[in-house]
Amino acid sequence: MRSHLGIMKTRHLKRRGCFLLKLLCLLVLALIFCEFVVYYVVIFQCRWPDVKIEAHRSSKQSSVSVVKAMFLADTHLLGEIKGHWLDKLRREWQMERAFQTALSLLQPDIVFILGDVFDEGKWSSSQAWADDVRRFQKMFWHPVQTELMVVVGNHDIGFHYEMNTYKLKRFAKVFNFTAGKLVSRKGVNFVLVNSVALEGDGCTICSIAEAKLTKLSQQLNCSQEEQNHSKKRCSDMTQLPASEPILLQHYPLYRRSDAECTGEDSALPEEKNIPFKEKYDVLSKEASQKLLWWFHPRLILSAHTHSACEVLHDGKIPEISVPSFSWRNRNNPSFIMGSITSSDFSLSKCFLPLESSIVAMYCTAGALLVVL
């Protein structure tokens, strides 16, 4: 009798153990899916857009002449002062997984981050800065064949009134960017602009930035003019591909508000009609006009507002506001994928997993555990 009872007890314990093991498996599976697999499932659906390629080129040349560029913005890596460790851990893991998955699935030629990489670059100590940079380099690690370029934002060096040479220099040391930069790849010209320095008040950093940008614009204009036309003026300039540039900057060009912006990731309805402040939310009218005059860009990509928008300047130059890449700023972060040739471009948006879907999946798994 006693031995029979013993056997029953062991069987019961075994069954219970087995059941607990199954529950544990369910929990681990939910974790692996939500923290790893989901990025592959979602980003796998994104495709590089098709772009028109000049007919006279052979197919072999054509495939080489398309630049596959990825644009993302406002990652806001949290700092030591305002960032809670759990918030930091969660957001950085999400961005690292999203970026690394996108790199492996989409294999862009070049990635541009349009500023506000850090949240506290504007006031962080040198030690905190070094720690932020170390984490950034780990999250945004990329193979040598993929280039990564960063444009400066107000959270990296401060708004105009709080930026100084020290902050700009430490940013430049890491990202090799101060006033402006021209990047030419496969016949496509990208102009990276320090839009924080376009205050127009003649401050040292502003004057250097303006001088640099005017020089770049001359160089670009020379490459587009007829050879004989301006031989003298352009003789000492490096020859660039004769293609209208694409402007990349943190602040958007001047627009009154986001009222005209549409799309699921544009600003919230209650925020759309709030007028933008010049030199704070957007560039001043004057600085915006200057950029258009100097560069005659065929496309502008900007950031800073954390929401999506498409604006047409002078009735023909499109500007795309790239939304934030961090789940801290949006439920539906995204990045822009561009197939670009020297004469044409085509853009599409790749959304990352929705934060609300991840939360819903965890809640379902949790509820299932409780019920079982």
Return the number of the residue (178 or 195) whose C-beta is nearest Zn ion. 195
Nearest-approach distance from CB 120 to Zn ion, in angstroms: 13
Instruction: Report the residue number, 133 or 283, with the smaller CB distance to Zn ion.
Output: 283
The total number of residues shown for the chain amounts to: 372
Minimum distance of Zn ion from residue 117's CB (angstroms)? 10
Give contact residues for Zn ion (rule: CB under 5 A).
116, 153-154, 304
Nearest approach in angstroms of CB 100 to Zn ion is: 24
Three-state DSSP class for 190?
strand
CA distance 73 to 75: 6
Q: SS3 for 371?
A: helix
Q: Which is nearer to Zn ion, 101 or 324 (CB)?
A: 324
Residue 2 falls in which region: left (phi positive, over 0), alpha (psi -120 to 50) or beta: alpha
d(CA 167, CA 144): 27
Residue 108 or 121 with smaller CB distance to Zn ion: 121
Q: How many CB atoms lie within 10 A of CB 341?
A: 20
Residue 282 CB, shortest distance to Zn ion, in Å, is: 11
Taking the complex as a whole, the smallest distance from the CB of residue 324 to Zn ion amounts, in Å, to 10
Q: Which residue is nearest to Zn ion (CB)?
A: 304
Nearer to Zn ion by Cβ, of 290 and 304: the residue is: 304
Please state, in angstroms and rounded to a whole number, the distance separating the CA atoms of residues 294 and 217: 5
Dump strand ranges (E) for the chain: 67-72, 110-113, 147-150, 180-185, 188-193, 246-248, 299-302, 309-313, 317-321, 334-340, 345-351
In the bound complex, what is the minimum distance in angstroms from residue 155's beta carbon to Zn ion?
A: 5
Q: Which one, 252 or 353, has the nearer CB to Zn ion?
A: 252
